[in-house]
Chains A and B, each alone.
Chain A
Amino acid sequence: MTSPTTTQDRPGPGQQTEELTGAEIVVRALRDEGVEYVFGYPGGAVLYIYDKLAQEDAVKHILVRHEQAAVHAADAYSRVTGKVGVVLVTSGPGATNAVTGIATAYMDSVPLVVITGQVPVALIGNDAFQEVDTVGITRPCTKHNFLVKDVRDLASTLKTAFYLAATGRPGPVLVDIPKDVTSHKAAYHYPEKITLRSYKPTVKGHSGQVRKAMQIITGAQRPMFYTGGGIILGNASEALRKLVRTLGAPITHTLMGLGAYPASDRQFLGMLGMHGTYEANMAVQHCDVLVALGARFDDRVTGNLAKFAPHARIVHVDVDPSSISKNVRVDVPVVGDLQQVLLEMNHMLEENDQRNDPQAMQTWWAQIKEWRDRDCLHYNQDDRVIKPQFVVQKLFELTEGNAIVTSDVGQHQMWAAQFYGFDRPRRWVNSGGLGTMGFGLPAAMGAQVAEPDSTVVCITGDGSIQMNIQELSTCLQYRLPVKVACLNNHYLGMVRQWQEFFYENRYAMSYVDALPDFVKLAEAYGHVGLRAQTPADVEPVIREALRLKDRMVFMDFQVDPTENVYPMVPAGAALSEMILV
């Protein structure tokens, strides 16, 4: 059976309300939502939308070379600006290509609105050309999704999508729009506010719980703060700094949380977890009160759960109740918006003089100093082979710690996290939860779009960069002067490291033979390529790249192929059971 797909509700004579096509509604809604950039790729099912989008000046479009990259770019745009990232792709393969990006954003709780085209309503379920069950495929990797079958629901659905994406624990929301819906007409009304009876995120923490948490924290002999991406997403860095400084307590971050507290501050012990610092992991294992803020006790953070923080009473603040007591049972749970809860905690500190026992804190810091003196991130840079850590350290020095750094996934990601000290939030953009190779370059594009005047460095490896290398073309089209720093070791380095440690040096399929000449490749795409072969080349190459402010530069660093990431907590071991250099 087929149903008519032509426009039915054209405005009659004398009708007052302005009627728009679905495509016009989409574009108008984006404008009314204040969306500046859409990252996308056109195709049959979204042609009406693209036709109208091209006529709208307020909403600019970045044409990527693969839909996965569109989502990563929008994701990074969101992480850097704090706004909702917007993606527009077509049906079928457009949607399936976007799935990896959507899952990446979902795991890291990044607010996105992803608009996908769909075949006309009458064809849904008929195995039509470029048809796929997009809402079915994306249901487990979106915060929510919608299929809009009636143009009259379109504006309110888009508003709801933005509302859901940005509130509570943020996340990607997908809106699937059949092609005929974009040609049908309806009165345009974009609601100011959405209320849903089934969705009421908790914002304010329970005051009794917050007070109880503060009592435990200030009563601790050996307090330790452990904070994650929630602090950054919740714009709670400032409140966190005040709290931690007032208490004088040590603090560590997860991979997702870097930048929340200044890395250059003495109270910061570095990242914790599988490749965390010795001092951070030891402090977690020996503290008597662990304060987890906007973190979710991921397996890469906790190591062996049964042996995690064995002496600690745990305070956990998170906006998502399901994150609390999921992996680790906590003693004082607080559900609420991080910023609000931390402001309340600071307020309580101002009102009373409850503080940790100074004597105990002195002993605790003396212990931490001993751990810190192990200098667990130490490496030796000779004058023959470039150490990858050295490259990151030089990047940090020469950008004065001010760059936005994106990364891919693997060894280079860990070195970036260990050696680039982030003093501000929203400067470090990486795929922490899903661990998506190919994230770095498109993420750098999104970050550069968000901050055209900032230096954006993509720290990557020879494996990851090739998973979205086509985006070099996008960089040229929009003159995005991204600086790629490829730590080229001719291996899938993290795989090789695990094979060395746990598979008796059998390097199964981790050596990457026949790599392209990245310098020539960059040049072929219209960019600048530079290569560093020896340690002496590193600084001049970086200086030259940074000097070329308006150019995209690909820096190919030929680094030590056998270097490993240390410290390392083997999977299943306790955090204190680290392999050190």
Chain B
Amino acid sequence: MTMRHIISILLENEAGALSRVAGLFSARGYNIEAMTVAPTHDPSISRMTVATRGSDEIMEQVLKQLNKLVEVVRVHDLTEGPHIERELMLVKVHAMGPDREEVKRLSDIFRGRIIDVTDRSYTMELTGTGEKLDAFIQSLDPGMVIEVVRSGASAISRGAKAI
């Protein structure tokens, strides 16, 4: 059975490290739904979040293979415990006539913020789980959407401890 997993990876903030992780996933045929990476509060370490799918056997291999990469400091499957997942989405939509008010209302319902305005469009910022962002897109008339940018999932474990 394939399940969705969110894997957090701490790795040396060095040129090529990202490519090693991405290359590992493609070379071994592992699935990547989304991947984000940025330096942490320790500038020598980057944190990568990978959303992936696979059976328990595949996931065991994914974690072992990631651990094997020389630049990887720590690997943790956040889906093994309570965790919080957030994704940032920027959406540019047509906003003219009666739609203009409607889009504003929808954005409010989803706790979005309008961050750029023209006489014909709005650009909104939303955060939430991937599902919430999907739901927002689905609530819009497909013809309205001009552009969507999603960050991919970022995630952190609940509680006081680091991974």
**B-contacting residues of A (Cβ < 8 Å)?**
135-136, 139-140, 143-144, 147, 164, 196-199, 320-322, 324-326, 329
Given the complex, which residues of A lie within 8 Å of B27, measured CB to CB?
A: 140
Question: Does the CB pair A140–B61 fall under 8 Å?
Answer: no
12 contacts between A and B (CB under 8 A): A139-B19, A143-B70, A144-B70, A144-B71, A164-B70, A198-B72, A320-B68, A321-B67, A321-B68, A325-B57, A325-B60, A329-B57
Question: Does the CB pair B19–A197 fall under 8 Å?
Answer: no
Given the complex, which residues of B lie within 8 Å of A198, measured CB to CB?
A: 11-12, 70-73
Q: Given A135-B16, A198-B73, does the pair A140, B57 have CB atoms closer than 8 Å?
A: no
Task: A270 to B71: give the CA distance in the assembly, Å.
Answer: 40
Given the complex, which residues of B lie within 8 Å of A199, measured CB to CB?
A: 70
Known: A140-B23, A321-B64. 9 other contacts (CB 8 A): A139-B16, A139-B20, A140-B27, A144-B70, A144-B71, A196-B70, A322-B64, A324-B64, A325-B57
Given the complex, which residues of B lie within 8 Å of A144, measured CB to CB?
A: 70-71
> A258: shortest Cβ distance to chain B, in Å?
27
Question: Does the CB pair A322–B61 fall under 8 Å?
Answer: yes
Instruction: Return the chain B residue nearest A140 by Cβ.
Output: B27
Task: A320 to B15: give the CA distance in the assembly, Å.
Answer: 26
67-124 of chain B: CB within 8 A of chain A: 67-68, 70-73
Given the complex, which residues of B lie within 8 Å of A139, measured CB to CB?
A: 16, 19-20, 23
1-38 of chain B: CB within 8 A of chain A: 11-12, 15-16, 19-20, 23, 27
Given the complex, which residues of A lie within 8 Å of B15, measured CB to CB?
A: 147
Q: Given A322-B65, A326-B61, does the pair A197, B70 have CB atoms closer than 8 Å?
A: no
Instruction: Return the chain A residue nearest B15 by Cβ.
Output: A147
Task: A230 to B127: give the CA distance in the assembly, Å.
Answer: 50
Task: A407 to B61: give the CA distance in the assembly, Å.
Answer: 33
> B150: shortest Cβ distance to chain A, in Å?
28
Given the complex, which residues of B lie within 8 Å of A321, measured CB to CB?
A: 64, 67-68
Task: A196 to B11: give the CA distance in the assembly, Å.
Answer: 12
Question: Does the CB pair B19–A136 fall under 8 Å?
Answer: yes
> A581: shortest Cβ distance to chain B, in Å?
38
Task: A386 to B143: give the CA distance in the assembly, Å.
Answer: 78
Instruction: Return the chain A residue nearest B65 by Cβ.
Output: A322
Given the complex, which residues of A lie within 8 Å of B64, measured CB to CB?
A: 321-322, 324
Given the complex, which residues of B lie within 8 Å of A140, measured CB to CB?
A: 23, 27
Instruction: Return the chain A residue nearest B74 by Cβ.
Output: A198
Question: Does the CB pair B73–A197 fall under 8 Å?
Answer: yes
> B6: shortest Cβ distance to chain A, in Å?
21
Given the complex, which residues of A lie within 8 Å of B72, measured CB to CB?
A: 198
Instruction: Return the chain A residue nearest B11 by Cβ.
Output: A198
Task: A458 to B67: give the CA distance in the assembly, Å.
Answer: 38
Given the complex, which residues of A lie within 8 Å of B23, measured CB to CB?
A: 139-140
Given the complex, which residues of B lie within 8 Å of A143, measured CB to CB?
A: 70
Given the complex, which residues of B lie within 8 Å of A136, measured CB to CB?
A: 19
Q: Which of B16, B23, B60, B70 has the most CB of A within 10 A?
A: B70
Given the complex, which residues of B lie within 8 Å of A329, measured CB to CB?
A: 57
Task: A140 to B60: give the CA distance in the assembly, Å.
Answer: 20
Instruction: Return the chain B residue nearest A324 by Cβ.
Output: B64
> A412: shortest Cβ distance to chain B, in Å?
31
Instruction: Return the chain B residue nearest A329 by Cβ.
Output: B57
Given the complex, which residues of A lie within 8 Å of B65, measured CB to CB?
A: 322
Task: A182 to B10: give the CA distance in the assembly, Å.
Answer: 33
Instruction: Return the chain B residue nearest A135 by Cβ.
Output: B16
Given the complex, which residues of A lie within 8 Å of B57, measured CB to CB?
A: 325, 329
Given the complex, which residues of B lie within 8 Å of A322, measured CB to CB?
A: 61, 64-65, 67-68
Task: A144 to B20: give the CA distance in the assembly, Å.
Answer: 9
Instruction: Return the chain B residue nearest A164 by Cβ.
Output: B70
> B67: shortest Cβ distance to chain A, in Å?
7
> A149: shortest Cβ distance to chain B, in Å?
9
> A106: shortest Cβ distance to chain B, in Å?
12
> A311: shortest Cβ distance to chain B, in Å?
22
Instruction: Return the chain B residue nearest A136 by Cβ.
Output: B19
Given the complex, which residues of A lie within 8 Å of B12, measured CB to CB?
A: 198
Instruction: Return the chain B residue nearest A146 by Cβ.
Output: B16
Task: A325 to B57: give the CA distance in the assembly, Å.
Answer: 8
